[in-house]
Structure 1
Amino acid sequence: MQKNILIVEDEDILREIVKDYLMDEGYNVLEAVDGNEALAIFEEKEIHLIILDIMLPELDGWSVCKRVRKTSNVPIIMLTARSDEDDTLLGFELGADDYVTKPYSPPILLARVKRLIQSRYAQDGKLPSEDHLMINGIHVHFPTRTVTVNEEQISLTYTEFEILAYLMQNQGVIITREQLIMKIWGYEFAGDDRTINSHIRNLRHKLGHKANSIVTVIRAGYKFEGTA
């Protein structure tokens, strides 16, 4: 099935360049030049990934991301001309899955799009050998990418799901922040430890009373503790 990607970018040249790269790879591309138009398209169409500029007229990318996350876990890649780390962290805290700073290489952006699409929607045998995992009352179902805590479903972003699944699959093993970065984003990731900390904080909040299943190991990383 052809995947629909929504590009939200008010710079015509940049939007057209990214559109051409995506279409050459077989993706169907929808376009928006401001935040309000983006939300209108998102509500009308089935969108599989959003490439979202932060500095937009009328409604900025942060606001769009926040509204989308109220109803959907669709993968979101945020674009910005600003390199401030606090801006990056804000994007992740609002639920973005990846973050690219302008100027960027379209092939690199395309690679990140393909990684998110393939991981989020893979149905070609790339799933774990076991299709579910249950530890400490937390149930991860890989084919549908759903998570329940004591039989109540919680809503996780793509990145939050990947972190939780990775920690649970390595129960009791200390996973460094560097290992998490390589697993989730790959070698080209430009963030730092604060990015991981932000995602872990969001994940613990959503796990509620099971938050203590994710243990911080000082100067080392994180590990998942619990009884299968």
Structure 2
Amino acid sequence: MNRQYAELVGPSPQHPLRPAAPVRRAARNVLVVENDERSAETLLRGLARQGYAARGVDTGAQALRGHRDADLILLDLDLPDLDGLEVCRAIRAISDTPIITVTARRSELDCVLGLQAGSDDYLVKPYGFRELLARMEAVMRRSHGRTVTADTGRVITHAGLRIDVAARAATLHGEPLDLTRKEFDLLHLLALQAGTVLTRRQIMAHVWDDAWSPRGRTVDTHVGTLRGKLGSSAWIITVRGVGFRLGHP
């Protein structure tokens, strides 16, 4: 067993630092994104012993599909299909769910890139299980009270645009917009991240739930239609070679 996971199964009875009994808490959902099957299984067992409702996935695509119910995400960067930094950025584009990057990448640059991608904390392997638990509790305390971007009761306003998320209705200068479901989801996503450039892959992941199979010009077509309904191409700015952001006509 890898050294960094030795504490997960607990030390021997003679160990002077034997962990206390599992903490009794309301179960919190933890998504473990880990490519190494043995490490993931050991980590999931340890979290379960501590009262967490933990589940694991081993690819970036699975993480993007399955992160919505998580209260915290433990994200390895070395995944078979996507770089973990890209996964982190994509999740952070629509969610404030705490993310702890857990990786073997140990350079200062890697740490900086992880934090810039949206991680709340950066933990280098090998690590102690009790340190991981402490960091998990710390980021969840810091995240308490955040406004979650996916809050269905939220009303978003931007330069005459008003989006009522719960009612799934949008108006522009008081006039209702006749939007399809995907057009509404696309406008909602752009408004949540007003001023931020979203890549086509991020948009596909969060509006179509499918960033990993080619879909032609799906995003561009919907952007064009949405611009027409908003009455100006200035509402959605194309950043060449990157993606799109909400404008301010």
Question: When the two structures are superposed, what TM-score results if normalisation uses the length of structure 2?
Answer: 0.47
Answer whether contact 1:5 1:50 (CA < 8 A) is retained.
yes
Partner residue, 1:30: 55
Partner residue, 2:100: 77
Partner residue, 1:94: 117
Give the superposition deviation at 1:77. Answer: 0.4
Answer whether contact 2:59 2:79 (CA < 8 A) is retained.
yes
Partner residue, 1:41: 66
Hey, what's the Cα distance between the residues in 2 that align with 1:76 and 1:13? Answer: 21
Aligned partner (choices 113, 130, 135) of residue 136 of structure 2: 113
SS at match of 1:104: coil
Higher relative contact order (CA 8 A, sep 6+): 1
**Identical-residue share of aligned pairs (%):** 38
Partner residue, 2:200: none
Residue correspondences, number? 128
Once the two structures are superposed, residues 80-100 of structure 1 have per-residue CA deviations (whole angstroms, 9 ceiling, x without a partner) of: 112111010001111101001
Amino acid in structure 1 at the alignment position of 2:27: Q
Are 1:11 and 2:12 counterparts? no
Give the superposition deviation at 1:18. Answer: 1.5
Answer whether contact 2:67 2:73 (CA < 8 A) is retained.
no
Answer whether contact 1:21 1:110 (CA < 8 A) is retained.
no
Give the superposition deviation at 1:102. Answer: 0.9
Amino acid in structure 2 at the alignment position of 1:90: L
Q: How does 1:91-170 map to 2 (within 5 A)?
A: 91-121=114-144, 144-146=145-147
Partner residue, 2:182: none
Hey, what's the Cα distance between the residues in 2 that align with 1:65 and 1:104? Answer: 21
Hey, what's the Cα distance between the residues in 1 that align with 2:142 and 2:47? Answer: 17
Unaligned stretches of 5+ residues in structure 1: 122-143, 156-228
- Larger Rg, first or second structure (1 or 2): 2
TM-align CA RMSD:
2.3
Unaligned stretches of 5+ residues in structure 2: 1-25, 149-156, 159-190, 194-249
Amino acid in structure 2 at the alignment position of 1:12: E
Hey, what's the Cα distance between the residues in 2 that align with 1:47 and 1:78? Answer: 15
Are 1:20 and 2:51 counterparts? no
